[in-house]
Chain A
Amino acid sequence: MGDEPLVRWDWIWRNWDTGRPDSILALLESHVVMAFLPVLFGLLLALPLGLASARWRWLYQPTVSVMNVVYSLPSIAVFIVMLAVTGLGQATVIVPLTFYSLAILIPAVVDGLTSIPDHVRKSAVAMGFTPLRRLVRVELPLAVPVVLAGLRVATVSSISLVSVGALIGQGGLGYLFIDGWQRQFTTPIVVGVVATVLLAVIADGLLVLAQRLLTPWRRA
């Protein structure tokens, strides 16, 4: 690579938006979809599962154990197994990442709900809240800080894990690593790394902002 510069800016301009699926913008777009949908699905599934685990405590340990086993499976292995089920589409990445998100979010939902002081729950009962209304008006809002903390971890880890999908042809920005590696050309690798990190930083920043807006009632 001798006198080749680390980054060739002209390559970036030329490949930014070519309209083809391997343009930087298209890769970024598919990366965002494959990173965020699993977190969204994970959250939607974690809420009922977490609520059930908080309600019936005996469910909690088995659920967390199963989720920890899922989390420990190497992502590449899971992607390859998923190929047989979902074929070569984005779903092959989205489905496993949903499980990874779940593994982080279920404990977050349970911890969020159990972090509510007993006197607050008791006083809600004593005021005459019905169980459903208590859940929606008191317990879920109070679980928000802990759930959002879990959401930050899930989001950032999802953004980073998507790249691995490049090995089965669905990796968003991860494609740039493989492309750069195969051609011994550093510019796409640098672009991939920088874009992934920026995406993670921006997403995390948005969640912090959401936390500020949603929980003005917390001790600073």
Chain B
Amino acid sequence: MITFEGVTKRYDDGTVAVDDLSLEAPTGAITVFVGPSGCGKTTSLRMINRMIDATEGRVLLDGQDVREIDPPTLRRGIGYVIQQAGLFPHRKIVDNVATVPYLLGWDRKRARARAMELLERVGLDAGLARRYPFQLSGGQQQRVGVARALAADPPVLLMDEPFSAVDPIVRASLQDELLRLQSDLQKTIVFVTHDIDEAIKLGDTVAVLRVGGRLAQMAGPATLLTEPVDDFVREFLGRDRGIRRLSFIPAKDVRLEAAPADLVTDAAGRPLGWRADGGLLPYGTFNPERDSLRAALDAALLAANGTAVAVDEDGRVIGVVTREALDEVLGQYAARHTRPLPATGEDPRG
């Protein structure tokens, strides 16, 4: 667990980058620091591995003040991934990944074997190991950056806008990859981003920081979407909070009905369309075991009759969800997750 206790960072010119920050980043979970530029999120991150030292307050790593630990030793035990990957241009990919093991004094063979293992783990071809960083795409470099951070199996991983410099498609796949890795590894991750969608997608807990380095709100992503504490957080979260909130509600509880006869399937039971005069009409599918209520609603909205088709892992129809069934679930959800507004006379936009 990483604990910030009343941490302030003030520079010599009087600028306050982080102002009395207190929070906890729990072990084995992803904590995201998100906020506009100038909110001190990167400064806060760098106070964990002492690339910056706090002016006041303490940062504790599993109860120990990081300032009691010699910086190089501390840093070798904390993985670090930065925006442009920060790979060493003069070292081959395999040696880039093996950087921290080398620093820890592992012998070359063991360090390289570990590096190869990690390249595979982050989904990179072993053939890339002998190349130099300039020969890789931005997305591949970023994967190498993640592999390098994991090389010595540190319990803590700091990620400073690691996916900001790649295109949206690559970014989405890197995010999915990180979640997949995290479900195996359960590292304590602190992740910095200015992108609230990324924060909501990746964070178990999201800390929203405002300019001047003050914590505006810290909550799980679903709570954040439903109950932003003030206008700043509300505006920072952006539009469609209600719909986006649905991404966190699993669809497994919706009532499935047997597929009606007018849903046409192929021999394997995969949907082809809704029967209509003169042909088939479009349909939408979701997987109740894996998808969210948002996906179920989306599938319903894609079909002319407003009925979503539920499928299994192989895409075979296992039932349908009618609009009435969806209404029922959405109603329950709304009732369960909406709390009365505080009686402060605040703008009741929710």
Q: Report A's interface with B, CB cutoff 8 A.
A: 117, 119-120, 122-130, 133, 138, 141-142, 215-219
**What are the residues of chain A within 8 A of B77 when measuring CB–CB?**
128
Whether A217 lies near B132 (C-beta < 8 A) is yes
Nearest opposing residue in chain A for B151, CB measure = A127
B88 pairs with A128, CB closer than 8 A: no
A-B contact sample (4 more), CB < 8 A, given A119-B86, A128-B76, A217-B132: A123-B80, A126-B158, A127-B103, A128-B103
Which B-chain residue is minimally distant from A133 (CB atoms)?
Answer: B103
- CA of A168 to CA of B51, assembled, Å: 57
> From B86, which residue of chain A is reached at the shortest CB distance?
A123
Assess whether A127 is in contact with B90, with CB atoms less than 8 Å apart: no
User: Which of B74, B90, B99, B103 is the one whose CB lies under 8 Å from A142?
Assistant: B90
The answer for the CA separation of A129 and B73 in the assembled complex, in Å, is: 9
Question: In the complex the two chains form, what is the Cα distance from A130 to B158 in whole Å?
Answer: 19
A215-B90, A216-B132 known; A128 vs B84 contact (CB < 8 Å) = no
Name the contact of A120 in the complex, choosing from B71, B75, B89 (C-beta under 8 A). B89
Cα distance A218–B88 when bound, in Å?
11
- CB pair A126 B84 closer than 8 Å: no
Q: Is B43 at the interface (CB under 8 A from chain A)?
A: no
Which residues from A are CB-within-8-Å of B99? Answer: 127
A127 touching B82, Cβ below 8 Å: no
* Contacting pair A129 B90 (CB below 8 A): no
Residues of B within 8 A of A126 (CB): 49, 51, 75, 78, 80, 82, 86, 158
Q: Is B134 an interface residue (CB 8 A)?
A: yes
Contact of A219 among B75, B78, B134 (CB under 8 A): B134
Q: Identify the closest chain B residue to A123 (Cβ).
A: B86
Tell whether, in the assembled complex, residue A122 and residue B103 are in contact, meaning their CB atoms are under 8 Å apart.
Answer: no
CB distance from A141 to the nearest CB of B (A): 5
Residues of A within 8 A of B82 (CB): 119, 122-123, 126
**In the complex, what distance in Å separates the CA atom of A141 from the CA atom of B73?**
24
User: Is chain A's binding surface mostly helix, strand, loop or mixed?
Assistant: helix
- List chain B residues, Cβ under 8 A from A122: 51, 82, 86
Inside 8 A of A141's CB, which chain B residues have their CB?
90
Asked, given contacts A119-B83, A217-B132, whether A125 binds B89 with beta carbons under 8 Å apart, the answer is: no
Does more than half of chain B's interface fall in helix, strand or loop, or is it mixed? mixed
A-contacting residues of B (Cβ < 8 Å)?
49, 51, 71-78, 80, 82-91, 99-100, 103, 132-134, 148, 158
- Distance between A99 CB and nearest chain B CB, rounded to angstroms: 31
Q: How far is the CA of A64 from the CA of B133 in the complex (A)?
A: 34
Known A119-B83, A141-B90, A217-B91; contact A127-B134, beta-carbon cutoff 8 A: no
Contact B134 A129 (CB under 8 A): no
A66 to B62, CA, bound (A): 53
Shortest distance from the beta carbon of A108 to any chain B beta carbon, whole Å: 18
A213 to chain B, nearest CB (A): 13
Instruction: Report Cα–Cα, A216/B133, bound state, in Å.
Output: 11
Interface centre among A117, A123, A219 (most CB of B within 10 A): A123
Contact B51 A127 (CB under 8 A): no
A138 near B88 (CB under 8 angstroms)? Answer: yes
Q: List 19 A-B contacts (CB under 8 A).
A: A119-B82, A119-B85, A120-B86, A123-B82, A126-B80, A126-B86, A127-B75, A127-B76, A127-B148, A128-B71, A128-B74, A138-B88, A142-B88, A215-B90, A216-B132, A217-B132, A217-B134, A218-B89, A219-B134
Tell me the smallest distance from the CB of A125 to a CB of chain B, in Å.
6
Q: A119-B84, A122-B51, A125-B51 are in contact. Are A130 and B89 (CB under 8 A)?
A: no
B86 touches A128 (CB 8 A): no
Which residues on the B side are within 8 Å of A215 (C-beta)?
A: 90
The 5 closest A-B pairs by CB, nearest first: A123-B86, A128-B76, A128-B75, A126-B80, A119-B86
Complex: how many Å from CA A124 to CA B148?
A: 11
Cβ–Cβ contact A120 & B88, under 8 A:
yes
A142 and B89 CA atoms in complex are apart in Å by 8
A150 to chain B, nearest CB (A): 18
Closest to A219 in B: B134
B162 smallest CB distance to A (angstroms)? 11
Complex: chain A residue closest to B132, CB-CB: A217
Residue of A nearest to B77 (CB): A128
Q: How far is the CA of A217 from the CA of B100 in the complex (A)?
A: 20
Smallest beta-carbon distance A127→chain B, Å: 5
Q: How far is the CA of A219 from the CA of B87 in the complex (A)?
A: 15
Q: Which of B72, B90, B91, B158 contacts A128 (CB 8 A)?
A: B72
A120 nearest CB neighbor, chain B only: B86
Bound-state CA distance A117–B85 (Å) is: 11
